[in-house]
Amino acid sequence: MRLFRFAGLLFLSSVTIAQTQPFKLPLEMPSAFSGTFGEVRSDHFHSGVDLRTMGQVGYSVFAIEKGFVSRIKVSPVGFGKVIYIDHPNGKTSVYAHLDRFVGKIAEYVENAQYQKQSFEIELFPNPGELNVNKGDIIGLSGNSGSSGGPHLHFEIRETTSQHILDPFEFFNEWRQTDYNPPTINRLLVFEIDSLRYLLDSLTYKAYEAVKKGSDFIVPLPIKASGKVGLALDYYDIVNSNSLRAGIKKAEVRINGNKTFTFRVDRFSFLETRYANGFNGITDNGWNGYKAIRLWTDPNNRFSGINHVINHGIIDIAKDSSYTIDVTVWDHSGNSSKLIFKILGVENKVNATSVPSLPLFRWNAENTYKTDSYMVRLPEYALFHDILFQMEENQSDNLPYPTVTIHNPKTKLFKKFTLEYKASKIPENILSKHYIAKLNGKGFEYVGSELINGSLKATCNCFGKYTVLVDTIPPSIIAQNLMPSAKITSQNNINFKLIDNTGIKTYNGYIDGNWVLFEWDPKTGILSHNLNPQRIKKGQWHSLKIVATDMLNNDSEYAIKFFW
């Protein structure tokens, strides 16, 4: 029995040791962060850390632990070129926005792309097919996909559930070099007026936070009445090489009692749009990117919210005093506290008439029609009830009416559909019409699906929309290749693709055979790396590029070159 117990203890000890072995850092350079885990961003919580590469691409990216490549995806948007590695400890590491894959991974992906004849691809290698060891170079850092600049987006997930975990919890090196507590800039106090809440036109007052000792304070008492909600404007800097980043936890205490806690150390992708319930509720004067709202709407069911009293909304009674402290923690455990007082004053309620508008319930499906348009919001699309506004207008400069859908500040948990009556469009060019969003810079393609006599699009946000027509094919412009050029010392071919609605498909053929062209919509560049293993050197070649836009208008470009 003693031997059995001793062996069991040895087993438990070995498991503990195995689980606490440190991961290798994914980059061998001083760690610098442009984003941290769980940051509240538009439509999502940030699902990893962004490691800066100082404006350069091409740094070696290392496997943090042994395992096998379980998933590879190549896309012109999103994560771009990304690798997923499953590890024996039940974790999956993710390496995104890569410039390229290397070694056996690169060969595996390229062969699959040629087999499928597609740059965009998603692969799921079998266990043992692409094994890696700790410290293996798996790729080079880059700027692929929807990246805003060269960096490595890095994640750790729980393999079975695919829940995203805070990478800071796995790297002592990051925590041990972070001595900076968050900086609190301002406190925002919102007046939760019922009518303004329904119209998403809440007003707030901002109070500068002043450093006093180790804490921040609002020097003078704040006078308020009725229901109020708090928001905090802040930032955190991990180290001297890093940019402003987010926090891990926020806690509100009123007269010593905990009334609201927000904590993000893990979440599922099904929850990520709950981030919209914490931002985007004010005008452009509020830095919503690094701010946190400290109350919730009825449909904000994010798992990181707890200890909530009255959704975090504070009822202020006349002649009462409230001592409130808000504490925020960064991902290394450093904390800052804001202390302030609220004094209850008389609530001077101004009588206002309720506008005659349809009431959209957050927990119901809602539809609304104008003469030409119809919107359909699925159940739970809204975070709270709203008095819905929608107006159709004819513009002298546009071929079809525009529709203004509610308030752009109103953030959504789910997307909605917008339909336009196809009977109002000439049938012979119906397939060339699409729904577009007016975005301040022009028009953005949203959708062009034709279903049951309607032109339909799935929309991400409220705003101004219209219907446009596109019969013009993409422009294909050679960047570094002249007709009949001899390019014996050149190893790549680049083309610029230009189109109003966006590029849907793109293919290149050399000597009649499909070849791999990479598409980057950020730059509009379609590029091919000439490979003597696939194309014979020292002879003339014929090249054809075919590009199709979102309305299936297509263009071809043909040229001969010597290589």
Query: Which SS3 state, helix, strand or coil, does residue 467 take?
Result: strand
Question: Of 1-15, 340-354, 442-456, which one has max mean pLDDT?
Answer: 442-456
Quick one: pLDDT at residue 79? 98
Chain centroid, CA 263 distance in Å? 19
Q: Residue 35: name the closest of 22, 45, 23, 20 by CA.
A: 45
> Concatenated DSSP letters for 157-170?
EETTT--EE-GGGG
Both tokens assigned to 291: 């701010």
Q: How far apart are CA 459 and CA 498, in angstroms?
A: 24
Chain centroid, CA 555 distance in Å? 32
In-domain check, residue 38: no
> Concatenated DSSP letters for 179-247?
--PPEEEEEEEEE--HHHHHHT--EEEEEE-EEETTEEE-SSPEEE-EEEEEEEEEEB--STT---B--
Quick one: pLDDT at residue 291? 73
Sign of the torsion formed by the C-alpha atoms of 282, 285, 286 and 287: positive
Alpha carbon dihedral 533, 534, 537, 539, in 10-degree steps, equals: 160
| 303 in the same domain as 440 | no
pLDDT in tens, 390-433: 999 998 899 999 999 999 989 999 999 999 999 989 999 999 99
| 505 in the same domain as 447 | no
Q: How far apart are CA 175 and CA 192, in angstroms?
A: 38
Sign of the torsion formed by the C-alpha atoms of 465, 469, 474 and 475: negative
Q: Helix-strand-coil percent breakdown of the chain, rounded to 5?
A: 15, 45, 45
Out of 165, 193, 222, pick the residue that ends a domain: 165
Quick one: pLDDT at residue 3? 35
In-domain check, residue 148: yes
Residue 176 has pLDDT above 70, yes or no: yes
Sign of the torsion formed by the C-alpha atoms of 43, 49, 55 and 58: negative
CATH of the domain at 59: 2.70.70.10
Q: How far apart are CA 155 and CA 142, in angstroms?
A: 16
Whether 282 and 206 have beta carbons less than 8 Å apart is answered as no
In-domain check, residue 415: yes
| 317 in the same domain as 411 | no
Both tokens assigned to 365: 């499906």
Residue 217 has pLDDT above 70, yes or no: yes
Out of 130, 165, 200, pick the residue that ends a domain: 165
DSSP H or E segment with residue 443:
strand 443-447
Quick one: pLDDT at residue 18? 35
Counting residues of the chain whose pLDDT is more than 70, the rounded percentage is 94
- The lowest-confidence range among 121-125, 173-177, 272-276, 365-369 is 173-177
Burial, 286: exposed, middle or buried (Cβ in 10 Å; 0-12, 13-18, 19+)?
A: middle
Quick one: pLDDT at residue 319? 95
Report, as an integer, the average pLDDT of 94-116: 99
| 105 in the same domain as 200 | no
Both tokens assigned to 350: 């101004």
Q: What is the DSSP letter of 108?
A: H
| 329 in the same domain as 365 | no
The total number of structural domains in the chain stands at: 4
Report, as an integer, the average pLDDT of 325-350: 94
Query: Which SS3 state, helix, strand or coil, does residue 488 take?
Result: coil
Report residue 369's pLDDT band, with 50, 70 and 90 as the boundaries.
Answer: very high
Quick one: pLDDT at residue 6? 32
Sign of the torsion formed by the C-alpha atoms of 284, 285, 287 and 292: negative
| 190 in the same domain as 146 | no
Q: Residue 506: name the closest of 555, 436, 470 by CA.
A: 555
In-domain check, residue 305: yes
Out of 464, 488, 515, pick the residue that ends a domain: 464
Q: How far apart are CA 211 and CA 217, in angstroms?
A: 6
Whether 46 and 246 have beta carbons less than 8 Å apart is answered as yes
Whether 534 and 461 have beta carbons less than 8 Å apart is answered as no
With a CB cutoff of 8 Å and minimum separation 6, the contacts of 219 are 210
* Measured CA distances, 234 to 49, 287, 293, 414 (Å): 18, 9, 11, 28
- The lowest-confidence range among 6-15, 40-49, 95-104 is 6-15
Quick one: pLDDT at residue 284? 41
Report residue 20's pLDDT band, with 50, 70 and 90 as the boundaries.
Answer: low
In-domain check, residue 23: no
Whether 351 and 245 have beta carbons less than 8 Å apart is answered as no
In-domain check, residue 10: no
| 204 in the same domain as 315 | yes
- The lowest-confidence range among 81-95, 174-188, 327-341 is 174-188
Report residue 353's pLDDT band, with 50, 70 and 90 as the boundaries.
Answer: confident
What domain range includes position 145? 49-165
| 312 in the same domain as 248 | yes
pLDDT in tens, 530-559: 999 999 999 999 999 999 999 999 999 999
Quick one: pLDDT at residue 22? 86
| 366 in the same domain as 267 | no
Share the mean pLDDT of the chain: 92
Q: How far apart are CA 314 and CA 10, in angstroms?
A: 53
CATH of the domain at 505: 2.60.40.3780
pTM for this structure? 0.92
Chain position carrying tokens 């050029």: 485
**How many residues are recorded in the chain?**
563
Q: Which residues pair with 527 in a beta bridge?
A: 494, 518
| 456 in the same domain as 491 | no
Quick one: pLDDT at residue 63? 99
Chain position carrying tokens 């290392």: 62
In-domain check, residue 498: yes
Residue 283 has pLDDT above 90, yes or no: no
Sign of the torsion formed by the C-alpha atoms of 54, 60, 65 and 68: positive
In-domain check, residue 119: yes
Quick one: pLDDT at residue 456? 98
| 511 in the same domain as 550 | yes
| 459 in the same domain as 479 | no
User: Whole-angstrom distance between the N-terminal and C-terminal Cα of the chain?
Assistant: 77
Quick one: pLDDT at residue 21? 56
Q: How far apart are CA 330 and CA 249, in angstroms?
A: 7
